[in-house]
Amino acid sequence: MELGKGLLLLGLINAILNLTSVPAQDNVFISWAHSYANFHNSSNCWVCGAMPLSVMDGLPWWVSPLRYGDFIPLCSFLEQQKGTFLSLTNHNLSLLSWCKKKPSMGQGHRVTFNMNTSLTEVTKAYTSYMKNKKEKGSLTKGGQASRYLEQYYQVWDEYFWMTPEKGQLITPATIYWEQKEQKVGFGDHPLDPKELKYMGYLPPEQCKQILEVTYHPNQSVQWPGSDWKYNPGIRWVAPNGTQWLCGPNLWPWFPVGWVGRCTLGFAFAHGRIKRSLHQPPVNLPYLHARWTGSVFQWYDYLAALFVPSVGTADIMVKVEALTNFTKQALLDSTKAIQALNEEQIQMRKAVIQNRMALDILTAAQGGTCTVIKVECCVYIPDLSGNVSTALKNMQNQVKAMSNENIPFWTSVLSWVKGDWWKTIVTVVTVILIILLCGPCFLQCLVNFVTQRLIAFSHVGGRRAKVQYISMNDARYGN
C-alpha cells in the first residue's frame, strides 16, 4: 500500500513538472523587430515599438489608406487580372471614376502593384493558415460562417477559419467598398444569411466616398463584389503590400460571399531604431543569463539527476544558446569573407589596370620590365568563384540551422549520410549489436516476466489454502 502511494505521488510530481515544459513559440514582437531592422538595413541597434494591449491581441497595426495617386496603379493591377477572371473581362475600368487620372492626384504611396507578387504573398498567408490550424475545418453547429473562438473573431473560407489581425486607420480613407447582404447566389438560388461572411464595418464618417458593390443578378459585377454568375468561387486578393481593413479587422483577401464596409491600406507597426539607450532594460541581465548560458555548471547535473524534466529543459536552453552563438559566428564570418572577397576583386582589377597603364607609358622603352631592368612576371589568380561557393555553403548552413520544419526521413538519413563504406559499416555494426545483445535482452525480459508470474501464482495459492472455521466448531473444539 505504501509502495502504491509512493508511485502515485511520484507520477503526480512528474506530471506537474511536464506541464511546465511548454513548447516554445515564435515571439511576434521579436520577429517584427528583426524584419523592421532588416528593412532599414540596420544592425547592432535597439528597435523600439508599441507592445500589444493584452496577451490576446496582436501587434497594434496602423493602416495608411490608399490615396488618390495609388488608384492608377490599382487600376493597372486590375488590368493584369482581366485574362484570369471572367468578372473583369468585360469590365471597362476606364469608366470608373477613381481610375481617371486627375492633375491634383498627388504621388500617393509611390508603389507598383503586381499580380504575381500579390499571389505569392497570399500563398504564404494561405500556407500559414493551413499550417497553424489545430482542428479540421468545419462550420459551426448552427451552420454559420462566422464565429468567436474565445476572444478571436473568425470567418469560414471553405477550408479553414480565417483569423484577422487588428488594425486602425491613421487618416480618413478616400474610398470605401461596401457589399451588403446578397439575396441570391449561384444559379440565382436564395442565399442563407448563415452562409455570409461578415468581415467588419468601417464607420462612414471616416470616408470621403462609399461605393456599393453588392451583387445583383441583373446588373454588371462591380469589383471587388461577389460574382455568383461567372466566378462564384472568386476571392479578391489585396494587392501586394496592402490588406483589406474592415472595421478593426485586417484581411489578406475577401472570401466567397463576404459582407462588410472595407478599404485598402498599407499596414505598419510604428517603430524607432536607436543606437544606444540612456538606461538598459531592467530584465537585460536575466535575458543574458537565460539565452546565453551555454556552459554547464555543477547544479545543472544535479537538476538533471533528481528532476529530469527541469534538467531536460535546461539542456534544451543551453543547446539553443550554442546554436545562437554558432549561427551568429557563421553570419559574422560570412559578412567578413564577403567583404574581403569584394576587396580582393577590386584590388585585382586595380593592379591589372595599373600594369596596363604602365606598359602603355613605357612602351617606347620596351615596357615596364625593361625600365626596372629585372625579370618580372604578373599573374593574379581570380579565386572569387571559390570564395563565393564557400560563402554560399555557409549561408546554406545558417539556413539549415534556422529551418524548423525538417522532414522526418531527412533527419534519419542525416545520421548515415557520408561515404558509402562508412554507411555500410554503421549499418552492419548496428545489426551485429542487435543480434548479439538482442537475445540476451529478450531472455532477461522473459525471465523477469516468468518470475513475476510465479510469484503471483504463489501468492494466489497461499490465499486459496486459507480455511474459514465456524463459530460452533471453535466453541466445541472440533
What's the CATH code of the domain at 403? 1.10.287.210
pLDDT band at 361; cut points 50, 70, 90:
confident
Mean pLDDT of 286-308: 61
Instruction: Tell me: do 117 and 245 sit in the same domain.
Output: yes
Higher pLDDT, 249 or 417: 249
pLDDT score recorded for residue 254: 93
pLDDT score recorded for residue 6: 43
Higher pLDDT, 281 or 444: 444
pLDDT score recorded for residue 292: 54
Mean pLDDT of 205-225: 86
Q: What is the DSSP letter of 325?
A: H
Domain-located, residue 297: no
Q: What is the 3-class SS of 352-386, one letter each residue?
A: HHHHHHHHHHCCCCCCHHHHHCCCCCCCCCCCHHH
Of 81-90, 244-253, 271-280, the one with minimum mean pLDDT is 81-90
On the question of pLDDT at 16 being above 50, the answer is no
448 vs 464: CA distance, rounded Å: 25
pLDDT score recorded for residue 91: 72
On the question of pLDDT at 467 being above 50, the answer is no
pLDDT band at 268; cut points 50, 70, 90:
confident
Domain that holds residue 214: 51-269
Mean pLDDT of 254-277: 90
pLDDT score recorded for residue 243: 92
444 vs 448: CA distance, rounded Å: 6
Instruction: Tell me: do 120 and 255 sit in the same domain.
Output: yes
Instruction: Tell me: do 91 and 207 sit in the same domain.
Output: yes
Q: Which of 230, 251, 269 is the last residue of a domain?
A: 269
On the question of pLDDT at 110 being above 60, the answer is yes
Instruction: Tell me: do 261 and 332 sit in the same domain.
Output: no
Domain-located, residue 15: no
pLDDT score recorded for residue 65: 93
Residues of the chain with pLDDT > 90, as a percent, come to 11
pLDDT score recorded for residue 197: 92
pLDDT score recorded for residue 140: 64
Q: How many CB atoms lie within 10 A of CB 71?
A: 22
